Structure 1
Amino acid sequence: MIQVHKKDIALQMLFDAKSLYDDRKYYSALNLAASASEVLCKLCIIEGYESPHVELKKMMESFHQSNQDIFMKPKDSMNVFNLSKNSIKHLDGVNDQYVFFDPKEEALLFINQATKAASILDYR
């Protein structure tokens, strides 16, 4: 058995996600990038930095406060943001067999979020 820091795993997943993205394997890139982003954003918080995930939540809160008739509640906005990553890793029955999003765009969103978190942490 070996001990590996989750930071190292997340960085490997991010590297692989970028490679898969370049190979046009967007669903796999999305899954790895989203996992890497979760860990790296949490590490930002642990190490005393504001994570890109928290920044996104604050931005959505600000939008909602500016015009509640146009912008969704932040929790609902975050559910939309996370829809792609959750929809490819869960199957909730017979009516949940297809996904409806642009995998290239969604993968890039999570790659960028994970890359930003890695940069904040100076894990290049």
Structure 2
Amino acid sequence: MVQYQDRLDLTFAALSDVTRRGVLEQLGGSQASISDLAERFQMTLTGMKKHVSVLEQAGLVVTEKVGRVRTCKLGPRRLEEEAAWIESHRQLWSARFDALDKIVEKLKTQEKTDGHRKRR
């Protein structure tokens, strides 16, 4: 369970940043060097290395150094566990909102009934 939570924490932390999500979208099309990514996102090489490191720790990106160039590509890890976690919480909240809708409808009906009684 702890390992599962650690993975979720790493993944959601990695996805919480707009630049890192942009990097993943970029790498979805093709691999790129850290220098290319830094240029595309208008940031320093050091800043991009930090972002890539976070993505790499989460298993979302894999890097390979060939000579002086470090190339990034999407990692082999899928997001099934994260999707399952989100789905379980979506179902929970959906059930709660459905129950709330029933209460609101009941109160509306009761309000209409009470309104008709007062007019008589």
State the TM-score, normalizing by the size of structure 2. Answer: 0.26
Which protein is bigger by CA-based radius of gyration?
2
* Higher-strand-fraction structure: 2
User: Using CA pairs below 8 Å that are at least 6 residues apart, which structure has the higher relative contact order?
Assistant: 1
State the TM-score, normalizing by the size of structure 1. Answer: 0.26
